[in-house]
Amino acid sequence: MSAQDTSLATFGAGCFWGVEYFFRQVPGVLNATCGYMGGNNQATTYEEVKKGKTGHAEVVQVEFDPTRVSYEELLQVFWKNHNPTSLNQQGGDIGTQYRSTIFFHDKQQKAEAEESKLALARSGKWGIRHIVTEIVPLQQFHRAEEYHQDYIQKNNLPSCHLEY
């Protein structure tokens, strides 16, 4: 399969280790890469991002085969595996670097993400709590350091995220 036959999606939902882990479990996902996005667009490191001063979010860039898994299905994985009503926090991870965000790659992704967010809000799953997830244009992706890639699998750890 060539790169022309694949698509990309980028999500921030707290600590990228768990986000990456969940997306790697999805049939049709070819790769999930931890990184940083949404900041000052300068190259950055984990040490800088975790201080919360660069404006970056921890994200996972998902490469997928759209003939096997749709963007809509990836959105469902995103919503299911974090709390989209928690502003700048997922569990014990606190700061703007852990914000709930969808970075859309094109107009179609933007429309699907907005529709999906609205459907989730209308579902009543979160009661009266407001969904704070940002839906913003793609920015420069900075790949995280190698030790972050496939961290849960490499270290034989349980996922650090809860299903919601």
Active-site choice (8, 9, 13, 15): 15
| Catalytic residue flag (residue 34) | no
Could you write out the DSSP letters of every residue in the chain?
--GGG-EEEEEEESSHHHHHHHHHTSTTEEEEEEEEESSSSS---HHHHHTT-S--EEEEEEEE-TTTS-HHHHHHHHHHTS-TTSTTEETTEESGGG-EEEEESSHHHHHHHHHHHHHHHHHTTTTTPPP--EEEE----EEPPGGGTTHHHHTT---S----
Q: Annotated active-site positions, please? A: 15
